[in-house]
Amino acid sequence: MSKKIIGIDLGGTSVKFAILTQEGEIQEKWSIKTNILDEGSHIVPDIIASIQHHLELLNLSAEDFIGIGMGSPGAVDRFEGTVVGAYNLNWKTVQPIKKDIESALGIPFFIDNDANVAALGERWKGAGENQPDVVFMTLGTGVGGGIVAEGKLLHGAGGVAGELGHITVDFDRPFDCTCGKKGCLETVASATGIVNLTRRYADEYAGDATLKRLIDDGEEVTAKTVFDLAKDGDELALIVYRHFSQYLGIACANIASVLNPANIVIGGGVSAAGQFLLDGVQKVFDENTFPQVRTSTQLVLANLGNDAGVIGAASLVLQ
Amino acid sequence: MSKKIIGIDLGGTSVKFAILTQEGEIQEKWSIKTNILDEGSHIVPDIIASIQHHLELLNLSAEDFIGIGMGSPGAVDRFEGTVVGAYNLNWKTVQPIKKDIESALGIPFFIDNDANVAALGERWKGAGENQPDVVFMTLGTGVGGGIVAEGKLLHGAGGVAGELGHITVDFDRPFDCTCGKKGCLETVASATGIVNLTRRYADEYAGDATLKRLIDDGEEVTAKTVFDLAKDGDELALIVYRHFSQYLGIACANIASVLNPANIVIGGGVSAAGQFLLDGVQKVFDENTFPQVRTSTQLVLANLGNDAGVIGAASLVLQ
């Protein structure tokens, strides 16, 4: 029997686990709740106990695995196998994860940050079609990303290659970004960015669109509300949709003019808007790319959903 | 004696040659005029004859070399070793360069496009300091570039990774670009782009700046004229300089937000403006990058000058 891999996707709410073949097929999948109490000190012991428990259940041992890969939030030192500053895990000090896991389980351990790992997953088994050049962009609460170029995951000189959320795209009326600068893609294309745009254009809008009424009534408006209303032709929602598309389309076009990847894979919660989202972005992308890029770089939706993390984590073992 | 490399930088005016050590030190250097007559059919025979002549002079033979590397304009097929569509060489049909040179000289031959090769040169022995992540941008008649990431030269899905001139940066009053779209970096940051900006702002300018008088008198104004006058405090030249800096600074910032290279190396004829150019760009770069990028990506001037091509070409042999 060929040896297997364990993939771990560590998040602030849950830790997802999978046992995969070396071809990236998931054979077993489970998850546990992330216990962030006591400065996150239970997280690694819980991960170790959960793996031990499942290996026993499945009658497997360390010898059946070539390695464990993990994606983590925070600042990851992939050489030392440590994480620091993962605030949604309450990890403020350096966590020696590789050392703890390897000594408890006796299986080689590899780690990278969560957006990079999701990029590897989508590139390997998802919408990236295992091409050598793939950019992954995740539109969630923020905007993150990861880049595979000539088959290699890029990290950059300061470890922040692929942090696509801080590309400047809004020059006219830039919102402040949490990073300290203004006009970042994240301020207009994340879930919170779409709400920013909605508030901006609602203020100026004088018609009787449903979205306007929701805002004026103080109802909760999310990215999903906006896309659903835009699909139904709501006038204000369409204004927001067109501006969102313009910003995201320019960012994708400029990324493609630099890297010319085979695919720019768009994932994260906001991408649930699906083909409608892609259509708006594609139009702006086509207007802002020169012919050789336009015909060789495709915009596509992510298709692995929550599995991208564990699959990409597993692929770290094979790099 | 350790074996050597031949580097060739093929341009529309001259062909530059160098014999280098495997450490990238130039030992001999010469050049010939590029004869583009008869559909460029003399170019490759001239290159072969010139190498044969110099090997005889230097008492060297094929056995003394591990390979020949060449940078070429046009669309390069680096696997087949061919070039097509190099209009400044009059090469309209596919040129089987690798086949011709290897059969005549008996030395392995490698080729890539000229901007990529210059990027490799600056990265290896120049301002790139042999870092694994270096972006090279050349500001000449047009704007070109090349990217080395995780130690590998990027080509992209359609072979146009690093074509940095077609990043969209001008949204308000975009000039048409030769690529068919509008607002490209090349339309505002190349030598011709600076003249575009000068004409735009001269039209609106009502003062008595020297640059305004030159334009009104129909004198020839080049990028050098503009930078020289701006350094002297000419009011219109400073307006052009600030807009140029804004566009180029945004492009550099967004490239850095995607790739986080150790260095963005700025070369080409326009970069002769030196530290003055860099200072303007750096200010905008700092305003448009988030802290981890700002502190880990440096803007620097190219420092190999005309040697970047032959040095980078030689490095193709070692890749």
Are A163 and B260 a contacting pair at CB < 8 A? yes
- Residue of B182, B255, B259 to mutate when probing chain A, most A C-beta within 10 A: B259
Q: Residue A114: which of A66, A164, A67, A75 has the closest Cα?
A: A75
User: What is the distance in angstroms between the Cα of B103 and the nearest Cα belonging to chain A?
Assistant: 30
Are A159 and B292 a contacting pair at CB < 8 A? yes
Are B147 and A258 a contacting pair at CB < 8 A? yes
The shortest CB-CB distance from B254 to any of A167, A260, A296 is to A167
Q: CB contact, 8 Å: A163 with chain B?
A: yes
C-beta separation of A309 from A16 below 8 A? yes
Helix axis angle for B223-231 and B191-204, nearest 10°, is 60
Q: Which tokens in the block code for residue A154?
A: 């890029």
Spell out, as residue ranges, where chain B has pLDDT lower than 70: 1
From residue B269, alpha-carbon distances to A59, A221, B192, B236, B301 in Å are 68, 52, 11, 22, 11
Which residues neighbour B221 within 8 Å (Cβ) at sequence distance 6 or greater?
Answer: B195, B198, B211, B214, B215
Distance CA B311, CA B264 (A): 18
Return residues 234-273 of A near B (CB < 8 Å): 250, 253-255, 257-262
The overall average pLDDT reported for chain B is 96
Are A258 and B258 a contacting pair at CB < 8 A? yes
For A195, the 3-state DSSP assignment is helix
Residues of A in contact with B147 (CB under 8 A): 258-259
Q: Residue A32: which of A20, A21, A46 has the closest Cα?
A: A46
Give, for A227, the enclosing helix (H) or strand (E): helix A223-231
From residue B155, alpha-carbon distances to A293, A310, B119, B253, B261 in Å are 12, 29, 12, 21, 16
How much is the pLDDT for A319? 84
Distance CA A6, CA A78 (A): 17
- Residue A231 phi/psi, 5° resolution? -60, -30
Are A287 and B163 a contacting pair at CB < 8 A? no
Are A293 and B261 a contacting pair at CB < 8 A? no
Q: Residue B117: which of B140, B150, B147 has the closest Cα?
A: B147
How much is the pLDDT for A1? 67
Are B158 and A131 a contacting pair at CB < 8 A? no
Return residues 2-61 of A near B (CB < 8 Å): none
What's the one-letter identity of residue B63? E
Q: Which tokens in the block code for residue B254?
A: 């967004």
Name the residue in chain A with its Cα closest to that of B178: A290
* Average pLDDT along chain A, 319 residues, taken 10 residues at a time: 94 95 97 95 97 97 98 93 90 95 98 96 95 96 94 95 96 93 96 96 96 95 97 98 98 98 96 97 97 96 95 96
How would you label B55-65 residue by residue, b for 16+ Cβ within 10 Å and e otherwise? Answer: beeeebeeebb
Q: Residue A186: which of A115, A86, A257, A290 has the closest Cα?
A: A115
Are A147 and B258 a contacting pair at CB < 8 A? yes
Residues of A in contact with B133 (CB under 8 A): 154, 156-157, 161
Residues of A in contact with B134 (CB under 8 A): none
Distance CA A86, CA A112 (A): 13
Burial of B1 (0-12, 13-18, 19+ CB in 10 A): exposed
Specify the length of chain B in residues.
319
Q: CB contact, 8 Å: A179 with chain B?
A: yes
Are A260 and B161 a contacting pair at CB < 8 A? yes
Helix axis angle for B223-231 and B275-287, nearest 10°, is 80
Q: Which tokens in the block code for residue B137?
A: 């941008």
Burial of A54 (0-12, 13-18, 19+ CB in 10 A): middle
Specify the length of chain A in residues.
319
Are A181 and B149 a contacting pair at CB < 8 A? no
Q: What residue ranges in B48-88 does DSSP mark as E strands?
A: 65-72, 75-77, 82-84
Q: Residue B163: which of A49, A22, A294, A175 has the closest Cα?
A: A294
Are A154 and B159 a contacting pair at CB < 8 A? no
Helix axis angle for A235-259 and A191-204, nearest 10°, is 130
Model confidence over B267-294: pLDDT tens digits? 999 999 999 999 999 999 999 999 999 9
The shortest CB-CB distance from B157 to any of A131, A254, A258 is to A131
From residue B278, alpha-carbon distances to A52, B10, B28, B272, B281 in Å are 57, 28, 32, 10, 5
How would you label B125-141 residue by residue, b for 16+ Cβ within 10 Å and e otherwise? Answer: bbbbeeebbbbbbbbbe
Are B257 and A164 a contacting pair at CB < 8 A? yes
Q: Which domains does chain B have, with CATH numbers?
A: 4-120+307-316 (3.30.420.40), 130-301 (3.30.420.40)
Residues of A in contact with B154 (CB under 8 A): 133, 149-150, 259-260
Are B147 and A292 a contacting pair at CB < 8 A? no
Distance CA B237, CA B280 (A): 13
Q: Residue A255: which of A182, A126, A149, A120 has the closest Cα?
A: A149
Q: What residue ranges in chain A does DSSP mark as E strands?
A: 4-10, 14-20, 26-33, 65-72, 75-77, 82-84, 109-113, 134-139, 143-149, 152-153, 263-267, 298-301
Residues of B in contact with A153 (CB under 8 A): 150
Are B168 and A250 a contacting pair at CB < 8 A? yes
Q: CB contact, 8 Å: B133 with chain A?
A: yes
CB atoms within 10 A of CB A23: 10
The shortest CB-CB distance from B260 to any of A131, A157, A293 is to A157
Model confidence over B177-233: pLDDT tens digits? 988 999 999 999 999 999 999 999 999 999 999 999 999 999 999 999 999 999 999
Helix axis angle for B97-105 and B43-57, nearest 10°, is 30
From residue A104, alpha-carbon distances to A14, A251, B34, B191 in Å are 21, 44, 67, 62
Q: CB contact, 8 Å: B290 with chain A?
A: yes
From residue A165, alpha-carbon distances to A144, A178, A186, B96 in Å are 5, 11, 5, 44
User: What is the distance in angstroms between the Cα of A38 and the nearest Cα belonging to chain B?
Assistant: 29
Residues of A in contact with B156 (CB under 8 A): 133, 259-261, 296-297
Give, for B156, the enclosing helix (H) or strand (E): none
Q: CB contact, 8 Å: A196 with chain B?
A: no
Q: What angle do CA A179, A185, A191 make, to 5 degrees?
A: 95
From residue B207, alpha-carbon distances to B6, B122, B212, B237 in Å are 54, 42, 8, 12
Are B261 and A156 a contacting pair at CB < 8 A? yes
C-beta separation of B6 from B65 below 8 A? yes
Name the residue in chain A with its Cα closest to that of B292: A158
Are A157 and B250 a contacting pair at CB < 8 A? no
